[in-house]
Structure 1
Amino acid sequence: MTWFRRLTLRGRLILIGSVGLAVGLLLGGLLLVTVLRFVLIRAVDDGARGTAADIASLISAKVLADPIPTAGTQYIQVLDQQDRIRAASVGADRLRPVLHGDELARARAGRVIVVPANRIGLTGELRVVVAQSGGETVLVAAPDRDVQESVLIVRDVLLIAYPLLVGALAGLAWHVVGWALAPVEVLRQGAEDISAGQVGRLPVPEGDDEVHRLGLTLNRMLGRLDAARQRQRDFVADAAHELRSPIASLRTQLDVAEHIGEPASIPDLAVEVDRLSRLVDDLLLLARAEEGDPRLRRREPVELTALLRDVVPAGARVPVTVVPGDPQWTIGDPVALRQVIDNLVTNAVRHAASRVTVAAGRSADRVVVTITDDGPGIPPGDRDRVFDRFTRLDDARARDSGGAGLGLAIVRELVRLHSGTITLGDAAPGLRVAVAFQPRPEPEPD
């Protein structure tokens, strides 16, 4: 089938359609010829039976003429009880019956006997029927030559007309399929014109058919790819910008130390190296979360109240209180969930004025972890933006206090991997962060 795969889609459709049409017409033609022959043969037999019945009626009324008048090409003989010919139609043999002894016996049983037509000097076949009246037998033979000629004419007409019909319909289908595939070619050409540097959009054909919906779907896909490409470019630019600062600081300290001939301050260098290490770790974690790393998809029962007590720092800048409550179970990756809570608590401690409160509880059909601080809060217009990478609000732009702006972005991706949601609200004063997860019944003790 290599040759078939080399054909264009248009050529394949036309070939399949033409072959299917030809096979269908062939089967239809065979059925037509068969039915036509059956109907014509039945008409010949019915005509012969009608003539035999009429002759039998004349015999019963004793008004049978000799020679017997006939209509058409029927061949009639009347036999007496000794199977001798008593009367016949014009041109019929008056010495020998058209049927032999065994054939005559079967005909009297009601069967139609088919014999060669050369018995009466014709070509083809004879169809002979029998009727009886008062011990006499009426033989009516009808040649099927007209039937065969009619069938042959119809067959010849079909053999000529069908190829012409298939060819005409194939030509029409070629133009129709080409017209139907024209929008696909437009989409293909549009995709060919799209470059790696400029994603662009495909020309969508008018209408409400499958090709139109395909164009819309492809454009939505291109939009997502363009957005992902833009996010990647922004990520690279922001990462380069964030990495430049600690690297420049390290270089400056080393240059100063070399200039004055004294060793660089080990504590200062360690601070910058730790900051750089944290930034690289956060970047790698964020990249793994966005790609859905299987290492972050480990699932096991996790008790959130105990996890809060374990994560809350003991010597934080402001007191962090874990509200007592019943155990709240969910299922997920313990390391990833620990990272979520740690990032949120660290962010709350950074901005709190005097206290931070964390709790785990149930809300409807979800398990909710809340982190509340009494800091300045986040304006409603910025509550979606803070989850973007490298985003710092005006009161947290200092890198020393505000971090690299990756904590909440990491939280959002990890929560998404756990099919959870995160919302920000007012705490009056301060900010209330609510993270909702799917609940899980408490595991049975071993």
Structure 2
Amino acid sequence: MSRWIRGPLPRLGLRARLLALGVLGLAVGFAFGGTLLLGALGWTLQRSVDEEALRTADAVALLTAEDALPDPLPVAGGQLRVQVVDAQGRIRAASIDADRLVPMLGPDELRPGQRQRLVVDGRRAGMPGPVRVVTVPAGTAQEPRTVLVAKSLTDVRHSLHVVRNLLLVGFPLLVAGLGVVAWRVVGATLRPVEQLRSGAAEITGRAGAERLPVPAGQDEIHRLAVTLNDMLDRLAASRDRQRAFVADAAHELRSPLTNMRTELEVARRLGGDTDWPAVADDLLADTERLSRLVDDLLLLARLDEQDARPSPVGPVELGELLRGVAARYPSPPVRLTPPDAPRWVEGDAGELRRVLVNLVDNALRHAYSAVDLAVSGPDGAYHLITVTDDGPGIPAADRERVFARFTRLDDARARDAGGAGLGLAIVRELVRRAGGTVELADATPGAAAPGLRATVRLPALAEPDAE
């Protein structure tokens, strides 16, 4: 059976497989139940025969003990045969239909003094078919007797035969009827699944809302359809973000490439009159900008591919990290306030350095005079890194928007002075991977030039043990 299930069954459709398994289970269950039913019925009928024969034998044994045996022995109905035999196997009394010369049990079968239950050929008792013979000890110790009572098993066998035939005819019809019902029910149950499959086959991945039909019933298929539609919405949003990312990247890459092409074409036309050092400087600036843009795009692409935050690389001391970043810039305008004690966090030192560099570059681009770099804490379970400038600041309504990719505010749209709008997006992704958050706020609330304070919160780490 298991070979059949692994073989032909998988080639059938789901509806046919479910029906085949269901019908097979019903057939096995009905066969097992029918066998138990026949066994229980046979045991019950046999017990009824034994009880009737034993009651008759006990009554005759009581008469024997009182030495009041009538001749012939009285029995109820014509289905019983009764004999009373002595220790030598001679018949001392018998019912009117019983043999008076030959006992129903031979000497090798009869065990005096014991109660027995045997099935013998009915011809010994003058009855058709097999008969049940029970023996009961009777008489006294000086004159032992044994009472033999036989009852035909023909009615029992006939009843079992009738029930067996009914089961053999009724069970296949019942299985067939249930199979038809199951076919309809399984078909109705799988119809929404087929609708989902058809709807999924029509999804092309092009622009526009594409959703699967949702069944009306509040069942597992309904929840599956809702979950699949949510997945399609997420895929559509991801596709839209990818398209916007590609379009923005193409737009940003076009500008430096166009500048480089223009300068090269002008230099080729002017020939010897070209100021080659100036051209080289312009081309180098555009190349550096293009290289930074490509690096940022590749970094964002790698971050997008990593769904889960990787394990931290190791402990990082923030004071040392800030000193290394501040050393990249002249002082002033970057002013470092060193921490009063070591501040340890766990993460990737390179990624955290990239976070600080991007924040400082952004602050320098908008600061009027100076940029302050400091670390404090612990604030609860976090250390705080702040990058503060005294520039015009960012309106509260735009402080979340600036973390989106390729976002520039109106007062910083010039590509020569500003970046590509990826710096803060990279900062948020890297800080999130480190298990922290980044926020923007006014450095001096209420002032004409409120400035901007970027606060990075990183999970604090106890000072590692010295090895």
> TM-score of the superposition, structure 1-length normalised?
0.94
CA displacement at 1:143 relative to structure 2 = 1.9
Matched, 1:225 2:235: yes
CA displacement at 1:63 relative to structure 2 = 4.5
Show the 5 A alignment for 1:13-412: 13-72=18-77, 73-105=79-111, 108-131=113-136, 132-134=138-140, 135-198=144-207, 200-261=210-271, 262-263=273-274, 264=276, 265-292=279-306, 299-312=313-326, 313-315=328-330, 318-360=333-375, 361-412=377-428
Unmatched runs of 5 consecutive residues or more in structure 1: none
Q: For each residue in 1:32-65, what CA deviation from the matched residue of structure 2 results, as whole angstroms up to 9, or x when unmatched?
A: 1111111111111111000111222333455433
What is the root-mean-square deviation in Å for CA atoms of aligned residues?
2.1
Write the letter of the residue equivalent to 1:434.
Answer: T
**For the Cα contact (< 8 Å) 2:309–2:433, is it kept in 1?**
no
CA displacement at 1:147 relative to structure 2 = 1.2
Q: For each residue in 1:3-56, what CA deviation from the matched residue of structure 2 results, as whole angstroms up to 9, or x when unmatched?
A: 222111111211111111111111111111111111111111111000111222
Matched, 1:427 2:443: yes
Write the letter of the residue equivalent to 1:329.
Answer: W
Partner residue, 1:438: 459
Q: Where in structure 1 do 4 or more consecutive aligned residues deviate above 6 Å?
A: 293-298
**For the Cα contact (< 8 Å) 2:390–2:443, is it kept in 1?**
yes
Judging changes above 3 Å, is the alpha-carbon distance between structure 1 residues 137 and 319 closer, same or farther for their aligned structure 2 residues?
Answer: closer
Write the letter of the residue equivalent to 2:90.
Answer: R
Deviates more, 1:37-46 or 1:9-18: 9-18
Write the letter of the residue equivalent to 2:73.
Answer: I
**For the Cα contact (< 8 Å) 2:312–2:346, is it kept in 1?**
no
Q: For each residue in 1:92-150, what CA deviation from the matched residue of structure 2 results, as whole angstroms up to 9, or x when unmatched?
A: 111011011132216x3122122222323444322211231343322101122211111
> TM-score of the superposition, structure 2-length normalised?
0.90
Structure 1 Cα separation of the partners of residues 168 and 153 of structure 2: 22
**What is the SS of the residue equivalent to 2:441?**
strand
Q: Percent identity?
A: 52
**What is the SS of the residue equivalent to 1:56?**
helix
Write the letter of the residue equivalent to 2:371.
Answer: V
Write the letter of the residue equivalent to 2:103.
Answer: P
Judging changes above 3 Å, is the alpha-carbon distance between structure 1 residues 294 and 251 closer, same or farther for their aligned structure 2 residues?
Answer: farther
Judging changes above 3 Å, is the alpha-carbon distance between structure 1 residues 89 and 294 closer, same or farther for their aligned structure 2 residues?
Answer: closer
**For the Cα contact (< 8 Å) 2:334–2:373, is it kept in 1?**
no
**For the Cα contact (< 8 Å) 2:98–2:126, is it kept in 1?**
no
Aligned length: 445
Judging changes above 3 Å, is the alpha-carbon distance between structure 1 residues 80 and 270 closer, same or farther for their aligned structure 2 residues?
Answer: closer
Structure 1 Cα separation of the partners of residues 308 and 28 of structure 2: 54
Structure 2 Cα separation of the partners of residues 69 and 114 of structure 1: 23
CA displacement at 1:245 relative to structure 2 = 0.8
**For the Cα contact (< 8 Å) 1:292–1:417, is it kept in 2?**
no
Judging changes above 3 Å, is the alpha-carbon distance between structure 1 residues 388 and 173 closer, same or farther for their aligned structure 2 residues?
Answer: same
Structure 2 Cα separation of the partners of residues 30 and 154 of structure 1: 11
Deviates more, 1:208-217 or 1:195-204: 195-204
Q: For each residue in 1:306-325, what CA deviation from the matched residue of structure 2 results, as whole angstroms up to 9, or x when unmatched?
A: 10111123316733323423
**For the Cα contact (< 8 Å) 1:297–1:333, is it kept in 2?**
no
Judging changes above 3 Å, is the alpha-carbon distance between structure 1 residues 165 and 317 closer, same or farther for their aligned structure 2 residues?
Answer: farther
Deviates more, 1:233-242 or 1:206-215: 206-215
Q: For each residue in 1:229-282, what CA deviation from the matched residue of structure 2 results, as whole angstroms up to 9, or x when unmatched?
A: 111111111111111111111111112222222344211111111111111111
